[in-house]
Amino acid sequence: MLNNRLDPGHGSEVGKCPRLCRLKPTWTLLCSLTLVASFPVSLAGQGVAPTMATPQTAVLGVGMQAPLQFAGPQGPANETSLGVGTSFLYDDNVFATNALRAGDEAVSFNSHLAFTRLTEHLEAKLDYLPFFVLYRTYDQYDRLNHFGSLNFDFRLSSRVILGLFDGINYQNGLYSSLTTPPILSGPPSPTALDQAIVPYTTRSLSNMSGVSLTFMKSQRTSLTLSGGYNQSRYGQKSANLSLYNSTGLSGSASYQYRVTEHTSLGLLLVHQDVTYQGGEVFGDRLRSQTEGSFLSLGSVLSPSISVSVYGGPEYVHNLGLTSPGAAIHEHFHPAGGGSITKQVRNTALSLYFLRSVSSGGGIYASAISTGAHFGVRQRLGKRWEGNLQGGVSRADTSLFQLGNGRTDALTGGVDINRPLLHGSVFHISYYTWHQLSGGTLPISANFDRNQIAVGIDYQLKALPLGR
C-alpha cells in the first residue's frame, strides 16, 4: 500500500513491456541488420583491410554524437564483446522530489554487449547496456532498464554514403552513477531530445532514430540529407502534475565546404514537427513546428585542438491549440552555440554551449533551452583513469505569450576506475543533480539528488569477426 502510493510511475503504460515493444520498430529492424551483417564476416575471416572512413560532417551533425577519446589509441574493430558487472549504490532522494525525500541503498547487476565492424564499405557499431536494480526498501523500482545505440555507415559508391542510426533509453529512475554516460565531443544535433532537464518522474522512455545520405561532390564539398524520428514517454508523477509525451519528425539539409586543409564552412537547414500530448500547462495536445537555418565554422587549430561555432535564426509556430496559453510570439529566435575539444595522450577535454528551441523534457512543450557543459578525461598514473563532467541548463517558456515557467538545472559527476586482474575493472562514481522550477510549475517539484556507486565490471574475451 505504501509502495504503490509513493511510486510516481505506478500504473503508467510506459512501464508495460508490450507498450515498449510497440514503440521501437526501428530498433528491432536495425538489430536484425546487425546480426545479418555479422554472420558472413565471422565465417569468412579474410578480405580487404578496414578502410571505411566517414566524411567530415557539418558542425551540428545529423546522428549520434561521438564520445570524447584520448589521442592515439583507436577503439576496437571487427569484434563482438560482452561484459558483466555489479555495483552497490546509495541514492539520497529516490523519488526525485524534496517534498517526499527518502534515501535508500541498492545493488545493480549490469551487462554490456558491444559489436564493431569496419570494412572498406561498412562501418557499424552497436552498444547495448541492460541493468537491473534492487533497492533495499522500495522494491517497486526493482525493474530492468535498457540503454542502446546503433550506428551504420554504408559506402554505396566512392561518392555516396548511407547512414542509419538509432538510440533508445528506457529506465525506472535516474542512475548516472551506474551507467557512467560518456563525455560527448561537442553539442548534440538540434533535432535531438533535450536530455539536460530531468523530468519529474522515475519512469521514462526516449528513442531517436534516423537516416542520412551524403554526397561527396569533391574533396572539398559535400551535401547531406537526413530525416529523423524521435519520441519521449513519461510515467505520471502525481495527480497534480501531468507530463508531456512527445512524438516528432525532422528533416535537414547540410552543405559543407572545406576552405583550407583545417577549416570548413557549413550551412544547415532544419525542419522539426513535434506533437505534445498529456500535459496541462499549454493544453493536453499541442503541435509545434520549428524552422531553423545555421551557418557553421569549424577549424582544427592544432593536431590536438579543434573548435567550432554556429548560429542562425529559428522560427516557431504552433498548430491546433487547445489552450489560450499555447499562443506564442511568432517571430524569429536567435540560436547558436560552439565547442572546443582537446585530445592528447593523457588528457581529453570538451566544452560546449548552445541555445535553441527544443522539447521541454516532459515538463513543458517547446521551450528555449540554454546550457553549457564540460567534460574532462584524465589518465592518473599508469593504472587509474578519472572522468569529470558537469553543466548548467535552463528551459523557459518565454516564447509563449502567457508562459512564465522556467527550470534551472545544475549537474556534475566524477568517475574513477582502475583495471584489476583478468579483465576486471574497479570503479567508484559520484553524481549530483540540483533542479529548481518556478512560474507555472508548483515549487514542490524542485529537488536535489546525490548518488554514489562502487562496483566491479568484468570483460569477457572478445570474439573476433574477421577482417
pLDDT of residue 436: 87
**Least confidently predicted of 14-18, 79-83, 110-114:** 14-18
Strand partners, 227: 211, 251
pLDDT for the residue numbered 236: 61
Q: What is the pLDDT of residue 320?
A: 67
Per-residue model confidence (pLDDT) at position 11: 38
Backbone angles phi, psi at 56, to 5 degrees: -70, 120
Q: What pLDDT shows up at residue 46?
A: 33
The pLDDT value given to residue 195:
65
Specify the pLDDT at position 100. Answer: 81
pLDDT band with cut points at 50, 70 and 90 for residue 227: very high
* Mean pLDDT value of segment 444-458: 87
Res. 314: pLDDT tops 70: yes
Residue 294 has a pLDDT of 92
| C-alpha to C-alpha distance for 263 and 255, rounded to whole angstroms | 14
Number of domains in the chain: 1
Average pLDDT, stretch 439-462? 82
Convert the pLDDT of each residue in 53-67 to its tens digit. Answer: 433 333 344 445 667
**Across 322-350, average pLDDT:** 81
Distance, CA of 271 to CA of 62 (rounded, Å): 12
Mean pLDDT to the nearest integer, 274-292: 80
Higher pLDDT among residues 58 and 82, named by residue = 82
Question: Could you tell me the CATH number of the domain that includes residue 87?
Answer: 2.40.160
Q: In the structure, what pLDDT confidence band is assigned to residue 9 with cuts at 50, 70 and 90?
A: very low
118 grid coordinates: 569496419
- Position 4 confidence tier, pLDDT thresholds 50, 70, 90: very low
pLDDT band, very low/low/confident/very high, at 420 (cuts 50, 70, 90):
very high
Nearest to 197 by CA among 338, 57, 370, 430: 370
Phi, psi of 25, deg, nearest 5 = -65, -35
- The pLDDT score that the predictor gives to residue 173 is 75
177-187 residue pLDDT tens: 676 666 766 66
Residue 31 has pLDDT above 60, yes or no: no
% the chain with pLDDT above 70: 73
pLDDT above 70: residue 50: no
What is the arithmetic mean of pLDDT over 394-408? 80
**pLDDT tens-place string over residues 371-388:** 899 999 999 988 999 999
Which of 398, 445, 387 lies closest to 180, judged by CA?
Answer: 387
Q: What average pLDDT does the segment 35-39 reach?
A: 34
Secondary structure, 3-state, the chain: CHHHHHCCCCCCHHHCHHHHHHCCHHHHHHHHHHHHHHHHHHHHCCCCCCCCCCCCCCCCCCCCCCECCCCCCCCCCCEEEEEEEEEEEEECCCCCCHHHCCCEEEEEEEEEEEEEEECCCEEEEEEEEEEEEEECCCHHHCCEEEEEEEEEEEECCCCEEEEEEEEEEEECCCCHHHHCCCCECCCCCCCCCCCCCCCCCCCEEEEEEEEEEEEECCCCEEEEEEEEEEEEEECCCECCECCCEEEEEEEEEEEEEECCCCEEEEEEEEEEEEEEECCCECECEEEEEEEEEEEEEEEEEECCEEEEEEEEEEEEEEECCCCHHHCECCCEEEEEEEEEEEECCCEEEEEEEEEEEEEEECCEEEEEEEEEEEEEEEEECCCEEEEEEEEEEEEECCCECCCCCEEEEEEEEEEEEEECCCCEEEEEEEEEEEEEEECCCCHHHCEEEEEEEEEEEEECCCEECCC
Q: Which domain, by its residues, includes 389? A: 2-464
Task: Judge contact between 346 and 374, C-beta under 8 A.
Answer: no
pLDDT tens digits, one per residue of 158-200: 999 999 999 898 988 777 667 666 676 666 666 555 566 777 6
The phi and psi torsions of 263 (rounded to 5 degrees) equal: -130, 135
Is the model's pLDDT at 156 over the cut of 60? yes
With 0-12 / 13-18 / 19 or more C-beta atoms within 10 angstroms meaning exposed / middle / buried, residue 458 is middle
Q: What is the pLDDT of residues 317-329, one digit of tens each?
A: 887 665 665 666 6
For residue 45, what pLDDT band results from cuts at 50, 70 and 90?
A: very low
Instruction: Indicate the average pLDDT of the chain.
Output: 78
